[in-house]
């Protein structure tokens, strides 16, 4: 079965190919109009231009086919599989994701939680030979996915995360940091990264004590905030049917959740990390990834992996042949 290594860029590749074909079609149309305006007599036009209609259509067909093969080459077609040994080398990234009820707020579309998961997916897609793990927290915290190099499995655990995953509600950032500390404390690595994504509404405290432990481990914490300063109401559920039903407090008043950047900046400052905000842009995520790429990488040994075989070389060769044939074909009839 054929697959494509650059399938995520298919829209852009097809758009470029379509623009090239449209420009070429416009050129041919303009060229025909110019010739007709200059010479109105068909017989005289043919004798002056000396253009072979068959050769013209053939050259056009070759160029169109070349554009198509260019698009296929850029998509990196793959079929067949081969086993090869790879060096498992990289850094450790542990992500703590807030799944408390406030993350259902829609001051960030489609919700705070969905945008946070998009940021984690972006990190996971950028990893090359690294290990990634996932901690979920609300009023309590637990490891959803241990550190692993299997990005596909990690994404399955991430997709399953929602605001019903943790039974104890609230936002206990300290518990998430304590859980991450246990992971890093039992794995003495030189390249360890901890990212915590939350709206910052810490209800339990104990953040300072947890930050001290990370300082002792020499692990920087990157705190990622999400949510607008004005806050938003909290939907009672994530389904569309509950869009107009919101969480209320014991007195029957609507609860408005607000982002607390103070505690997040404090965590980053106390551990030598950074604070970024993904409410409006994902640019801060790339800052974290750049810092990770500069770290000394760990070796985890070798492993045998099954990989799809790249076949784009075939289409690249056909592309060269088509362009060469088009260039060698004469544009005019030979006059004997």
Alpha-helical segments (H) within the chain: 10-38, 42-49, 53-74, 112-126, 151-159, 173-185, 207-217, 261-271, 283-293, 312-328
Radius of gyration of the chain (CA): 29
The b/e string for 234-247 (b: 16+ C-beta within 10 A; e otherwise) is: bbbebeeeeeeebb
Say what the pLDDT of residue 239 is.
52
Say what the pLDDT of residue 335 is.
44
Residue 217, sorted as left (phi over 0), alpha (psi -120 to 50) or beta, turns out to be: alpha
* Closest among 313, 295, 278, 6 to 129, alpha carbons compared: 295
* Closest among 175, 213, 171 to 192, alpha carbons compared: 213
Say what the pLDDT of residue 208 is.
84
The b/e string for 314-327 (b: 16+ C-beta within 10 A; e otherwise) is: ebeebbeebbeebe
Model confidence over 13-65: pLDDT tens digits? 999 999 999 999 998 888 777 767 766 666 655 655 555 667 778 888 999 99
In the three-class reduction of DSSP (H, G, I as helix; E, B as strand; rest coil), residue 106 is classed as coil
Say what the pLDDT of residue 295 is.
66
The tens place of each residue's pLDDT in the chain, 336 residues long, gives 788 888 888 999 999 999 999 999 998 888 777 767 766 666 655 655 555 667 778 888 999 999 999 999 999 999 888 777 655 556 789 999 999 988 998 888 889 999 999 999 999 988 876 789 999 999 899 999 999 888 989 999 999 999 888 888 888 898 999 999 988 887 655 578 899 999 877 656 678 888 888 888 888 899 999 988 877 888 876 555 445 688 776 777 887 888 888 889 999 988 888 999 999 989 889 888 888 777 655 555 555 656 788 899 999 999 999 999 988 887 655 444
Say what the pLDDT of residue 36 is.
72
The counts of H helices and E strands in the chain are: 10, 11
What domains does the chain contain, in order, with CATH numbers?
3-80+308-328 (no CATH), 92-296 (3.40.50.410)
Say what the pLDDT of residue 315 is.
93
Q: Are 176 and 196 in contact (CB under 8 A)?
A: yes
Length of the chain, in residues: 336
Nearest-angstrom CA–CA distance, 192 and 5: 29
Model confidence over 62-112: pLDDT tens digits? 999 999 999 999 999 998 887 776 555 567 899 999 999 889 988 888 899
Q: Percentage helix, strand, coil, to 5, in the chain? A: 45, 20, 30
Nearest-angstrom CA–CA distance, 276 and 286: 10
Nearest-angstrom CA–CA distance, 134 and 132: 7
Say what the pLDDT of residue 51 is.
54
Strands 192-198 and 256-257: unpaired
Nearest-angstrom CA–CA distance, 316 and 192: 41
24 burial via Cβ count (<10 Å: 0-12, 13-18, 19+):
middle
């Amino acid at each position: 079965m054929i697959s494509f290594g650059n399938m995520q860029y298919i829209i852009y590749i097809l758009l470029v190919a379509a623009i090239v074909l449209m420009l070429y079609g416009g050129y041919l149309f303009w060229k025909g109009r110019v010739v007709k305006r200059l010479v109105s007599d068909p017989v005289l036009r043919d004798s002056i231009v000396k253009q072979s209609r068959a050769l013209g259509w053939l050259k056009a067909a070759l160029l169109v086919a070349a554009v198509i093969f260019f698009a296929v080459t850029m998509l990196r077609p793959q079929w067949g599989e081969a086993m090869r040994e790879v060096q498992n080398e990289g850094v450790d990234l542990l992500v703590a994701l807030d799944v408390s009820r406030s993350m259902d707020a829609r001051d960030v579309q489609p919700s705070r939680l969905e945008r946070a998961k998009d940021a984690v997916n972006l990190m996971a897609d950028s990893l090359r030979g690294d290990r990634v793990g996932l901690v979920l927290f609300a009023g309590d915290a637990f490891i959803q996915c241990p550190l692993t190099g299997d990005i596909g499995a990690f994404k399955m655990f991430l997709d399953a995360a929602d605001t019903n995953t943790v039974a104890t509600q609230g936002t206990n950032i300290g518990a998430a940091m304590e859980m991450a500390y246990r992971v890093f404390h039992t794995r003495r690595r030189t390249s360890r990264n901890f990212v915590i994504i939350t709206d910052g509404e810490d209800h339990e405290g104990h953040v300072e004590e947890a930050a001290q432990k990370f300082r002792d481990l020499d692990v920087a914490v990157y705190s990622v905030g999400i949510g607008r300063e004005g806050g938003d109401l909290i939907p009672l559920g994530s389904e569309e049917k509950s869009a107009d039903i919101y969480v209320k407090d014991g007195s029957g008043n609507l609860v408005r959740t607000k982002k607390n950047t103070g505690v997040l900046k404090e965590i980053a400052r106390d551990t030598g990390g950074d604070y970024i905000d993904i409410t409006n842009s994902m640019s801060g995520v790339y800052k974290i990834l750049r810092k990770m790429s500069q770290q000394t990488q760990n070796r985890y040994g070798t492993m045998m992996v099954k990989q799809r075989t790249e076949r784009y070389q075939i289409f690249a060769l056909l592309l060269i042949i088509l362009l060469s044939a088009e260039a060698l074909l004469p544009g005019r009839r030979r006059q004997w």
